[in-house]
Amino acid sequence: MDLAFKLVALVVYFGGMIGIGLYAFRRTKGGEDYMLGGRQLHPFVAALSAGASDMSGWLLMGLPGALYMSGMVEAWIAIGLTIGAGLNWIFVAPRLRQYTQIAGNAITVPSYFGNRLHDRTNILRIAAGLIILVFFTFYVSSGMVAGGVFFQSMFGGPYLTGLLLVGGVTILYTLFGGFLGASYTDVVQGLIMLVSLIIVPITAMFVVGGPTAMFASVREVDPSFGSLVSGGTWVGILSALAWGLGYFGQPHIIVRFMALRSSRDAKYGTIVGMSWMILCVTGAVFTAMAGLAYFQQNRDVQITDATNGESVFLDLAQVLFHPLIAGILLAAVLAAIMSTISSQLIVTTSALVEDIVGGVGVKLGDGAKLWAGRIGVLVVSVVAVILALDPESSVLALVAFAWAGFGAAFGPIVLLSLFWRRLTMAGAAVGMISGAVVAFVWGQSWGAEKQPLDVTLGLFGGEHLYEIIPGFVVCLVLAVVVSLITPQPPAKAMVEYDDMLDSLATGEARDRSSEEPAAA
């Protein structure tokens, strides 16, 4: 009977996601709509979509599990991510929204790089597109694996069935709904995650006797739980904080900024996005504490994942609530996984159609881009599913590099392109490639002891410096140096930069790509 209730909740959830995708399908008329929502994304939608597509299952399983096992020293990564997300919304969002429209109405991150830096060779655009295509295909695959494993552990069904169900539903609403479908479902998924991370810890806290009793039980289990430094090293803390640097270069996050109605929406988006993130992270912290207290007081009940503690949220949901409610709460984990998959599918497909195909000279009309985008989603999805057939596939080792690689390769270029008019195409190309290479080599050479999917546990046990730090620094320094020793950007690029600054005051931006360049 318990299983039946959980399956009912799962069917309702899947049906809702498909329904939202079909609604978005009716609002998607062309290629720009499919890849960027026609630049008419409400800031509330953009904020929740960015948060949900960013956090994945880490927020409900990884973070509570790490805190459950090791205490608040594991919170540094959450602190770094929260700071990074806030800075991204405040400084990057308004400028990127305006500049992507001014610089040739770019609808992808690689096309923005190419247009902003007036790269007539399309080398920068194609290289960035290939980086996105390769690593996000693996990233999507890892999300499908997570969905299959979750289904297997929670419902007792075959891994392949779970993989095909989770992957199939996500592919379906993304295939038809495109960017809007992914964004609208992200809103629902983000709200499910938020409500779950409020209800579960609060209920558990009162079950164990209230806040005072909970804190007492936590201290009994781990007297140093509340310490932010106990068991940590300065290298570990710095590495954890450095995860926040990755935000500036994550295509599936910053593309939400590009889709805003205007730069003025960024302020509203900042408030919504950061409120959601702070509440969710706080909920994850209290989930860990309530879990410690509950299992300390109820020694006859055992946590399922005694090794990593990552089942603490799932276990509390199942022991404290009616099976139907528990099924809805468990859907929060699927929501986190699926929101990330859908967002990455859209960005990957956009890079394939807009930047790689378009970069080699194939011109597609708006209608053709729409259907090419749908075909691209299908192709990337099939490849990702094939890679995910083996739940132990080594492609999962690339997930940590994907965050570090994008952050190191794209992050400094995004920041320099928005805040430094002197950046050149050569500087951006050298910096981008060097940042990615350094992040990869550093991670392979000095990070062998680090578990690739474990972003928190074990992070403080060694002296490994997270590869995003050297990669980011190398990209930034080389981009600046090469830009200074190469000819300055064309006059038109300078005019566009000034237009971007002027447009921030009015919230209005216009594409100058068809106009004649101004005199030097």
DSSP assignments along 147-161, one per residue: HHHHHHHHH---HHH
Q: What is the largest CA-CA distance in the chain?
A: 79
Phi, psi angle pair for 26, to nearest 5°: -70, -20
pLDDT-based confidence at 314, cuts 50/70/90?
confident
> Is residue 398's pLDDT more than 70?
no
Q: Which residues contact 146 (CB under 8 A, 6 or more apart)?
A: 56, 57, 337
The amino acid occupying position 193 is: M
d(CA 149, CA 142) in angstroms, rounded, equals 11
Report the half-sphere exposure of 338 (CA within 13 A, side-chain side).
40
The sign of the dihedral angle between the CA atoms of 369, 372, 374, 379 is negative
Contact 279, 78 (CB under 8 A): no
Residue 487, SS3? coil
Q: Could you read off the pLDDT of 77-99 as tens digits, one per residue? A: 899 999 999 999 999 999 999 99
What pLDDT is recorded for position 450?
45
Residue 421, SS3? coil
Lowest mean pLDDT among 51-60, 69-78, 504-513: 504-513
Q: Could you read off the pLDDT of 477-501 as tens digits, one per residue? A: 999 999 999 999 999 999 999 999 9
Taking each helix axis as running N to C, give the angle between helix 123-155 and helix 366-388, from 0 to 180 degrees, rounded to the nearest 10: 50
First to last CA, the chain: 75
Say how many C-beta atoms besides its own lie within 10 A of residue 436's C-beta: 25
The model's pTM is 0.88
Could you tell me the CA-to-CA distances from 146 to 315, 337, 374, 462, 512 in Å, in that order?
Answer: 17, 7, 24, 27, 44
pLDDT-based confidence at 517, cuts 50/70/90?
very low
Q: Which residues contact 254 (CB under 8 A, 6 or more apart)?
A: 88, 92, 93, 96, 109, 247, 248, 414
What is the share, in percent, of the chain residues with pLDDT greater than 70?
Answer: 92
- Lookup: tokens for 203: 């209920």
Report the half-sphere exposure of 337 (CA within 13 A, side-chain side).
26
Averaged pLDDT, 296-312: 85
d(CA 50, CA 266) in angstroms, rounded, equals 12
Q: Could you read off the pLDDT of 435-452 as tens digits, one per residue? A: 989 988 887 775 544 443
- Lookup: tokens for 388: 């995910």
Q: In the block, which residue shows the tokens 């309530």?
A: 290
Q: Which residues contact 320 (CB under 8 A, 6 or more apart)?
A: 200, 203, 204, 207, 326
pLDDT-based confidence at 514, cuts 50/70/90?
low
Q: Which residues contact 134 (CB under 8 A, 6 or more apart)?
A: none
What pLDDT is recorded for position 111?
92
> Is 479 or 152 the better-scoring residue by pLDDT?
479
DSSP assignments along 346-411, one per residue: HHHHHIIIIIIIHHTT----HHHHHHHHHHHHHHHHHHHHHHHTSTT-GGGGGHHHHHHHHHHHHH
pLDDT-based confidence at 279, cuts 50/70/90?
very high
d(CA 376, CA 372) in angstroms, rounded, equals 6
What pLDDT is recorded for position 350?
86
From its phi and psi, is residue 156 left (phi > 0), alpha (psi between -120 and 50) or beta? Answer: left
C-alpha torsion 265→17→388→311, nearest 10? 90
Contact 271, 87 (CB under 8 A): no
Q: In the block, which residue shows the tokens 């739940």?
A: 391
Partners of residue 260 on adjacent β-strands: 41
3-state secondary structure 262-279: CCCHHHHHHHHHHHHHHH
d(CA 434, CA 156) in angstroms, rounded, equals 45
d(CA 392, CA 272) in angstroms, rounded, equals 37
Partners of residue 41 on adjacent β-strands: 260
- Taking Cα atoms as reference points, which of 108, 129, 104 lies closest to residue 117? 104
H or E stretch including 24?
A: helix 2-27
Q: In the block, which residue shows the tokens 């069917």?
A: 11
